[in-house]
Structure 1
Amino acid sequence: MTLSHATRVDVRVIGDARLLAGLELGRADRHRHLSTHGAQPELTREDYTKLSEAVGLRGRGGAAFPVALKLADLPTRGIEAVVVNGSESEPVSRKDRLLLTLAPHLVLDGATGLARALGAPHVLIAVHDMEAAMSVREALMERNDGLAIEVTDTPGRFVAGEARAVLSALDGGLAIPPGRRVLPTRKGYHRRPTLLSNVETFAQLAVLARLGAKRFSSTGLISEPGTQLLTIDGAVQRPGVIETPIGVPLEAVLRFAGAEAGPVLLGGYHGRWLPHGGGVVLKRPEVSAGIILALGTDTCPLGEVHRVSQWLASQSAGQCGPCVFGLASLVDDFDRLAKGDPSGWHDAQRHLGLVPGRGACAHPDGSARFLASALEVFGEDVRLHLAGGGCGRQVRGVLPVPGGSW
């Protein structure tokens, strides 16, 4: 089904719709939301913990951290806030902003229900998309949750969506990850214990609260039941957001979207390349933030990767050498490699061994993972470029790269 023009993406379902249920007519207001999903039950902290543990619910951002463990790490008292991270700054992903735009009440149900269960007085929704923010603010006018709920506009830069960067922005600072790695459950909003997760996680909690563990587990894998939202783009006939059971084969999703044959990128620009879509099932943490990019066979892979490397380097927060100098060096390495200079390949191998594990945030590690897997999967293209003739294909810009820099 193709929904609201305002979302600018196609939305489809494989199997039964849960998160996307009732959206055939576009954005669901409070009345249509309740007629589709029913009233949100009032659950205790223990209820949420037991339900999350029973179904193995994992966060639907990049880390895929178990929700039950996150709840268990919070103190029994003094929880300051529940934070909905809607700063979906990965260039390809559309799933979270789509939920905020078309199904804001489902997200708010999950966040406010959990806030009441934890005794947290604040619910904060961090959003960088203007349309999504307007939709949430409109939804709040239709509700009376008895909590202090605030929608905060955040920058759309890549690292600004990292959890600690979001908390910094909410506290009035810059939207960059601080060098210290302190869990939000210990020191989050106002440096007090905070439950922070991404948009889809809260929507999943709202569905889980209504269905219970048994009905929630009627689809998906035994080890990880339920559904997931996937954004698919690139060399496909039908790009957009797809809701599927967890564990669906990647090949099935690619066929469903009309993808061309060829390499596939899982997890976005901090993800990894696969030579093809065969033999992979889509679950966390392999699928990471739910992003699938089909490259096809008509574009130059090394040229595409070089374009993305330039953008990744431009997104550095400028806090550490591995990010500022390491990523810039890798951009130069891949440029020389694509032009057939063997020193580019050798320098890329050396720099890829120096960057990971030394940055102030996850951006250098994720970027290095993306580039290292490209060298592995595109080995034949590397050989052709180093032989001096190139691969014979133009760079068609299949991989989306936003304009602008930090």
Structure 2
Amino acid sequence: MTMLLETAVRVIGDPRLVAGLDQGRLDHQRHLWIHGTQPDRTRDDYIQLAEAVGLRGRGGAAFPVALKLADLPTRGVEAVVVNGSESEPVSRKDRLLLTLAPHLVLDGATGLARALGAPHVLIAVHDGAAAMSIREALMERNDGLAIEVTDTPGRFVAGEARAVLSALEGGPAVPPGRRVLPTRKGYHRRPTFLSNVETFAQLAVLARLGAKRFSSTGLISEPGTQLLTIDGSVQRPGVVETPTGVPLEAVLRFAGAEAGPVLLGGYHGRWLPHGGGVVLKRPEVPAGIILALGTDTCPLGEVHRVSQWLASQSAGQCGPCVFGLASLVDDFDRLVKGDPSGWHDAQRHLGLVPRRGACAHPDGSARFLASALEVFGDDVRLHLANGGCGRHVQGVLPVPGGSW
């Protein structure tokens, strides 16, 4: 089987997670040749290693891995869950690992499962090529564990941890209203370790290198490397592996980005007026997404398009999401057309949405929109004064199913 992935892969510094991917997908033999065999590590080994290097989860929450492991009971861990439901429209890093380096992800998941005594490894994937690659990889291995790959929907909220657990249990891929940690009540309401794809790849590298060698690059406080997805008004979009702590400005130059505002963290992230003065580390760059907007498109029009998509991704189970996001779409529509009431209503609704939803979707969407109003203040004034800023919406911000 030939795996095709259109995402370009680049490196600043020495490659770890993407080592060998310049030659395409790594089968098991090539994976072992590049990375070596996976050593057996105990539960305490993983906790000590993760704590020594300050390893954080590589999803949006960036929770310390050592704390998550320490919260699990010494016995009775039901499953290790790999969350490959990368539903953020811009992000490509997790599906790249699943498609081109599946054995690195499997090493991290199965090694941890054995250390925790967990009988199940469950992998949730919504991308077809990634699911096919991981299933082929399983045929090349014999891990002695029950490993299942489950196809999940591509909706935005379907990637939330509790939505993934619901889907794995045969339910709807939406987060339930109760906020219970998977380490306490996860798969089938039993203790579960759940994290995203890159986290498991990092654990596989950490188990091989040990804390000292792992810490030979990156920040002292959080050493190692990170995967970043770069898109938008750039000459060289794709996924890049960099040391932690690399300046945002350097990454933008590396990608050939145009000058202008930058979105960090995707559609639950925040806007910056430019890339200067920012160091890329967790949790400042959630989900590892960098999107350069450039200066040729209408910023408020771009944000309005994304707000419509965010509202369409609601799970439909709480007022702040169903009604709050719909109201904000209307507010931004009126603001783009120059109606002052749109700006005033947006300010009011943005104060009502956060911390009241059943999941993080309303909070993240509000954060994205609030930072846009702050960073694009000059554009807001132009729209209110003239009914527009003189620039057309070019669709720099990708929206699934859009016409751009």
Question: Fold-level match, TM-score > 0.5?
Answer: yes
Distance 2:378 2:365 in 1: 22
Distance 1:165 1:172, change over 3 A: same
CA contact (8 A) 1:234 1:398 kept: yes
Q: TM-score w.r.t. structure 2 length?
A: 0.98
Distance 1:2 1:289, change over 3 A: farther
Q: Give secondary structure in 1 for the equivalent of 2:86.
A: coil
1:33-59 superposed Cα distances (whole Å, 9 cap, x missing partner): 000000000000000000000000000
1:332-371 superposed Cα distances (whole Å, 9 cap, x missing partner): 0000000000000000000000000000000000000000
CA contact (8 A) 2:309 2:399 kept: yes
Q: Give secondary structure in 2 for the equivalent of 1:289.
A: helix
| Structure 1 runs (4+) greater than 3 angstroms displaced | none
Distance 2:26 2:2 in 1: 15
CA contact (8 A) 1:314 1:405 kept: no
CA contact (8 A) 1:315 1:405 kept: no
Q: Give secondary structure in 2 for the equivalent of 1:212.
A: helix
Distance 2:101 2:8 in 1: 15
CA contact (8 A) 2:9 2:22 kept: no
CA contact (8 A) 1:2 1:11 kept: no
Distance 1:18 1:25 in 2: 14
Distance 1:22 1:331 in 2: 44
Residue of 221, 225, 228 corresponding to 1:230? 228
> Superposed, which structure 2 residues align to 1:9-158 within 5 Å?
9-158=7-156
Distance 1:147 1:10 in 2: 33
How many angstroms does 1:131 deviate by? 0.3
How many angstroms does 1:229 deviate by? 0.1
How many angstroms does 1:225 deviate by? 0.1
Distance 1:58 1:25 in 2: 29
Unaligned runs of 5+ in 1: none
Distance 1:361 1:278, change over 3 A: same
How many angstroms does 1:388 deviate by? 2.1
Residue of 300, 303, 324 corresponding to 1:302? 300
Unaligned runs of 5+ in 2: none
How many angstroms does 1:390 deviate by? 1.5
Distance 2:2 2:56 in 1: 28
1:162-214 superposed Cα distances (whole Å, 9 cap, x missing partner): 00000000011000000000000000001100000000000000000000000
Give the superposed CA RMSD: 2.0
1:135-163 superposed Cα distances (whole Å, 9 cap, x missing partner): 00000000000000000000000000000
Distance 1:40 1:57 in 2: 19
How many angstroms does 1:404 deviate by? 8.1
1:296-325 superposed Cα distances (whole Å, 9 cap, x missing partner): 000000000000000000000000000000
**Does residue 355 in structure 1 map to residue 318 in structure 2?**
no
How many angstroms does 1:389 deviate by? 4.2
Distance 2:260 2:71 in 1: 43
Distance 1:404 1:42 in 2: 47
Q: TM-score w.r.t. structure 1 length?
A: 0.98
Distance 1:157 1:144, change over 3 A: same
Distance 1:151 1:405, change over 3 A: farther
Aligned residues: 402
Distance 1:286 1:305 in 2: 21
1:54-91 superposed Cα distances (whole Å, 9 cap, x missing partner): 00000000000000000000011000000000000000
CA contact (8 A) 1:2 1:12 kept: no
CA contact (8 A) 2:88 2:266 kept: yes
Distance 1:76 1:199, change over 3 A: same
Distance 1:305 1:190 in 2: 39
Q: Give secondary structure in 2 for the equivalent of 1:387.
A: helix
